[in-house]
Each structure stands twice: as C-alpha cells, then as structure tokens.
Structure 1
Amino acid sequence: MAARFQALAPWLAALWWGSLTTLGALVAPLLFVHLPSPALAGGMAAKLFTAQTWLGTGCGLFLLLLSRSGQGQPTTGRLQSAMMFIMLGVLLALLSEFAVAPRIVSRDNLRLWHSVGSAMFALQWLCAGVTFWKMTRTQG
C-alpha cells in the first residue's frame, strides 16, 4: 500500500511546479492584459495566488508525509533529498500569503511588497522545481 502512495510523489511535485509556472508565467500576466483595469486584474490575481498557496502547501505537506511513511521505498530517498526544498517552498508560500499579500492588498508601500512577493514566488518556484527534478531523475 505504501508503494502505491509513493508513486504519487512525482505527480505531486509536478502539480506544484506546473501550477506555479502556469500562474506566474501565463495566467497572471494575461489578467493584466485582458481585464479592463489593473485593480480588477490585481484582485483576481490575489485570489489565484491564494488558491496557489493552498495547492502548494497541500502538495508540500503530502510530500513530507510520504517521506515519513515509505521507509525502504525507492522514492523515499528522493523525497529525503528534497526535504529542505519542500519545507522551504511551503514556508515561502505561507509567508507570502500571510505576511506579504495583506500588505500588497492594502497598498502599503506597494512597490516594495510586490517586489518581495515576486521574489518569494520565484524562490518557491525554484524549490518546487528542484523537488520535481529530484523526484523524477533516474538513479545512476
């Protein structure tokens, strides 16, 4: 049974990294191009980034649980090597949501907090990407 759940690990990593990539490189920019005002686009982007936070947090936490439950499984070693990146990615997602996003929404020093949020999003994208790479690389 544990081996069946272990097979989910690369898919979870792919979902996390792919959703960050799609939101950051495609969806959010298109909102600002096609919606009638930047305020409307920003409000919709904020909702999508919140959804992304929960998706990424869920994927990361499930990956951490899989690393604890599958002792002796081949995937477990790859999960163990990605542990730091998984934890950092989840932490970045939660900090972005609860520390940075409220400041952006309230327009408190918007340029600074938008830059901080963008940097944290990029770092989370890197963490998810490294996790995906570690989960899919072949041993040898």
Structure 2
Amino acid sequence: MRQRLPLLAAALWWGSLSTVGFLVVPMLFAHLATPAVAGAMAAKLFAAQTWVSVCCALVLLLISRPKGAVAQYAWAQAAMVFIVGGMLLALVSQYGVAPRIVARQDLRLWHSVGMVLYALQWVCALLVLLRIQREGNGASATFVSHPSDRDAG
C-alpha cells in the first residue's frame, strides 16, 4: 500500500480539483435559487478543496524520499516543482484571492485571478499525477541511494 500512496494522493488531489471546480460548483450556480447562495456555498467548497490540496501535497512531500535516504524517489524528483507550486497556488487562492471575492472587491478581476490560479493548480496536480504514473506508479525504488542501501536489497 505504501508503494501506491504517491499515486493515490496525486489522484485524489487532481480528482477532487476536477470534481469541485468543473462539476460541483457549476451545478450550484445552475440549480440553487440565487447566485449569492451558490457563491456562498462555492466559497465553502473551495475552502475545503484547499485543505484537500494542501494535505495531498504534504503527503507527497513527506513520502518523497525513502526513510534515511538523502535523495528522492524518481517520481518526486520529476514532480517536486509541481507539488510545491500546486500547494502554493491553493494557499494563495484561499488566503489572497478568496477574501477579496467575499468582500466583493472588484469581483470581475478577483474571480478571473481565482479561476486562473485554480486552473494552474489543476495543471500542477495533473502533471504530478502523470509523472508519478510514468515513474512506475511510485512503486519502484528508483532513487539515488546511500551505498549501504544497495547492499541490503
């Protein structure tokens, strides 16, 4: 199971971003009574999504290298910039953009900025998922190891 954890975390991250941003929130605006009600609910969903994103990225960071090793797994080397970038995009959206939308400051501008940041985060999560999958589902121990690790295996 531990070998598949990177793939599962990346899939959860990308899948939750896809579901919330491209299915659930548009349905709120299509089916709730007013845009204000839909917007309030969307804000809560995006806040929850931020924490899903941060948790998935943290899990990926924490398992990016074998215990006691200096170097990262191959999947982590290939995806690190996108893991950190996606997590930062989520936090900037939540704590930089969302308060301005809630305060109704220049809604057109801040909604546009929020949409761009969300789309960039979605791309980061997708690239992380694809790189983990390409590097053997995170299951291979392809990393630069300490010489004593090679003798043990």
TM-score (norm 2): 0.83
Q: Partners of 1:45 and 1:128 in 2: how far apart?
A: 20
- Cα distance, 1:6 vs structure 2: 3.6
Q: Indicate the residue corresponding to 1:97 in structure 2.
A: 94
- Aligned to 2:113, which of 110, 113, 116? 116
Q: Indicate the residue corresponding to 1:16 in structure 2.
A: 13
- Cα distance, 1:99 vs structure 2: 0.4
One-letter code aligned to 1:67: S
> Relative to structure 1, is the Cα distance of residues 87 and 38 closer, same or farther in structure 2, using a 3 angstrom cutoff?
same
With 75-84 and 105-114 compared, the bigger mean Cα shift is at: 75-84
Q: Which secondary structure state, in structure 2, belongs to the residue aligned with residue 23 of structure 1?
A: helix
Q: Indicate the residue corresponding to 1:60 in structure 2.
A: 57
Kept in 2, the 8 Å contact 1:16–1:59? The answer is yes
Kept in 2, the 8 Å contact 1:6–1:66? The answer is no
Unaligned stretches of 5+ residues in structure 2 = 137-153
One-letter code aligned to 2:6: A
2:30 is aligned with 1:39: no
How many positions carry a matched residue from both structures? 134
- Cα distance, 1:68 vs structure 2: 3.1
Larger radius of gyration: 2
| RMSD, matched Cα | 1.6
Unaligned stretches of 5+ residues in structure 1 = none
Kept in 1, the 8 Å contact 2:65–2:76? The answer is no
Instruction: Name whichever structure is richer in helix by fraction.
Output: 1
Q: Which secondary structure state, in structure 2, belongs to the residue aligned with residue 107 of structure 1?
A: coil
Q: Partners of 1:95 and 1:38 in 2: how far apart?
A: 24
Kept in 2, the 8 Å contact 1:12–1:59? The answer is yes
> Relative to structure 1, is the Cα distance of residues 22 and 43 closer, same or farther in structure 2, using a 3 angstrom cutoff?
same
Identity of aligned residues (%): 54
Q: Partners of 2:41 and 2:104 in 1: how far apart?
A: 15
Q: Indicate the residue corresponding to 1:88 in structure 2.
A: 85
